Structure 1
Amino acid sequence: MTALPDLLPLGLDGLLARFATTFSEGANARARDLAAGLEAAPLPGQVEVAPALASVLIRFDRAAVTRAALAQALRARLAEPAAAPAPARHWRVPACFGGPSGAQLTEAATLAGRSETALIAELCATDLTVLALGFAPGQPYLGLLPEHWQMPRLPALTPRVAPGTITTAIRQIVLFAQASPTGWRALGRCAFRPFSAHAAAPFLLRPGDRLRFAPATEAEIAALEASGDPRGGAKVSAP
């Protein structure tokens, strides 16, 4: 029997279902599946679900349900046979590498023990899973990459990376949704914008989606950025 997650209070109106205290692909998959199930069939009093890398935050209406009752309902849900996960959508996102990110790409390649060309070729041959959205609205954490991508964050923050910057650390890729400081090493950029506040569907990605980068030139990415389309030339195959 699969162990139940720890159910922990969080703030005044939150219940955290924690599957592990460190990242694992199994814990991440369970968190994604629970969040998807709760979105499809909410618990009584549930108002928001936010999956993270190994946990799920469930916010509730304190006037409609107590935390204890919500926890009881969640335990009952977890005891039921798990539904099959929804088929993943597959995204193919044009991206260019090097350029303004060249110095940090060189550092990343050195840390990985690969040439820059080999490192980017490996990245572009990998189907990455959207492990979670976070830090900024719609911003994906993508992984996992092979062990030689287990590189630390930078010792000091880069003051600003532009939207669409592709960065790496700890076997993951973060594709920045908004301009931001970061301690992750920049590899390149794309015109794909995973969050558009005024769009009918602001979040393009969802946890469990697959994403692969397709090599493009700087000029091609600049043209896609100039078009204003938040998909930035990305193609998606629906499940």
Structure 2
Amino acid sequence: MTTVSLQTEFPRIDAVGLDGLLVRFGETLDEPANRAALAYRAALERASPEGVEECATSLVSCFVRFDPLAVTPDALSTRLRAILDQQDWYAAALPEGRRLLSIPTVYGTELAPQLEEAAQVAGMSAEEAVKSLSDAQVRVTAIGFAPGQPYMGSLPEAWNIPRQTALTPQVPVGALVVAIRQLVLFSVTTPTGWRHVGQTAVRLFQPDSDTPFLLRPGDEVRFPSISRAAFERLKDDPMGGLSTEALE
């Protein structure tokens, strides 16, 4: 079997198993690398190279699954490299069809009990933390870990706080958690090492819908603060009071 050589600089193309290639734009999350991954995936889907069966983005890379009976890794790598050479992907326009979503969130209370702890680690009061988080507009950088679950960033530098050293035994569906300048909104009930700072009523994964994943990579999201009473009124709404507008 032929193998794909690994480049030493980014972007580079790595082999993943027998039927995958990973186009990598960086080692760690930053805005240009995430932008590049999103824009490159959109271009690749438009180009539809022979043998490609699936494309998916992570924080800073684009995974390409292919049919090894239809195309060799070397041939596909050459095609992917040709697309890479078309432009500076780190400065590329983001894909069309992105949306700005506003998801009402109650911060703190017994529903999100780690707000004050997270605020202290970030060097803020609880009130300052709520304002910072509710004023932020973050990009969905990737979907992963659980169905429809978004990773979103980047928050201001003050939120470059570590994950916990121990696990919280369980957070509910709709939990908003924070660490390392990112927000994650949970689509399932699960243990986590991220601090639970807000609670929403939205259901990110709706398997009976034509579009089961509510959010998409490249979307931008705000989490405006609402009262506990307002949250209670939204609990029976699977959209959790979400509002949406198109982004240019």
Please confirm whether the aligned pair reaches a TM-score higher than 0.5, indicating the same fold: yes
Q: How does 1:4-15 map to 2 (within 5 A)?
A: 5-15=11-21
User: 1:132 — aligned with what?
Assistant: 142
Specify whether residues 155 and 101 from structure 1 end up closer, same or farther in structure 2 by C-alpha distance, changes over 3 A only: farther
User: 1:236 — aligned with what?
Assistant: 244
Q: Select which of 82, 86, 95 maps to 1:86.
A: 95
| 1: CA distance, partners of 2:179 / 2:213 | 23
Cα contact 2:38–2:95 (8 A) shared by 1: no
Taking structure 1 as the reference length, what is the TM-score of the superposition?
0.92
Is 1:181 the equivalent of 2:187? no
| 2: CA distance, partners of 1:36 / 1:194 | 23
Q: Secondary structure at the match of 1:58?
A: strand
Specify whether residues 38 and 193 from structure 1 end up closer, same or farther in structure 2 by C-alpha distance, changes over 3 A only: farther
Q: Secondary structure at the match of 2:191?
A: strand
Aligned residues: 235
Is 1:146 the equivalent of 2:149? no
* Percent pairwise identity: 44
Cα displacement string for residues 160-182 of structure 1 (whole angstroms, at most 9, x for unaligned residues): 11110000000110001111111
Q: Select which of 62, 66, 70 maps to 1:60.
A: 66
Q: Which amino acid aligns with 1:29?
A: R
| 2: CA distance, partners of 1:101 / 1:155 | 21
User: 2:26 — aligned with what?
Assistant: 20
| 2: CA distance, partners of 1:114 / 1:84 | 35
User: 2:4 — aligned with what?
Assistant: none
Instruction: Report the alpha carbon displacement of residue 4 of structure 1 after superposing the two structures with TM.
Output: 5.4
Is 1:215 the equivalent of 2:234? no
| 2: CA distance, partners of 1:84 / 1:114 | 35
Q: Which amino acid aligns with 2:240?
A: G
Q: Secondary structure at the match of 1:72?
A: helix
| 1: CA distance, partners of 2:112 / 2:74 | 52
Cα displacement string for residues 158-203 of structure 1 (whole angstroms, at most 9, x for unaligned residues): 1211110000000110001111111000001111222212210112
Q: Which stretch of structure 1 is more off in the superposition, 130-139 or 100-109?
A: 100-109
Q: Which stretch of structure 1 is more off in the superposition, 189-198 or 166-175?
A: 189-198
Instruction: Report the alpha carbon displacement of residue 8 of structure 1 after superposing the two structures with TM.
Output: 0.5
| 2: CA distance, partners of 1:25 / 1:85 | 11
User: 1:43 — aligned with what?
Assistant: 49
Instruction: Report the alpha carbon displacement of residue 234 of structure 1 after superposing the two structures with TM.
Output: 0.6
Q: How does 1:190-205 map to 2 (within 5 A)?
A: 190-205=200-215
| 2: CA distance, partners of 1:36 / 1:177 | 25
Q: Secondary structure at the match of 2:54?
A: strand
Cα contact 1:4–1:78 (8 A) shared by 2: no
Specify whether residues 209 and 95 from structure 1 end up closer, same or farther in structure 2 by C-alpha distance, changes over 3 A only: same
User: 2:106 — aligned with what?
Assistant: 96
Is 1:206 the equivalent of 2:216? yes
Q: Which stretch of structure 1 is more off in the superposition, 161-170 or 85-94?
A: 85-94
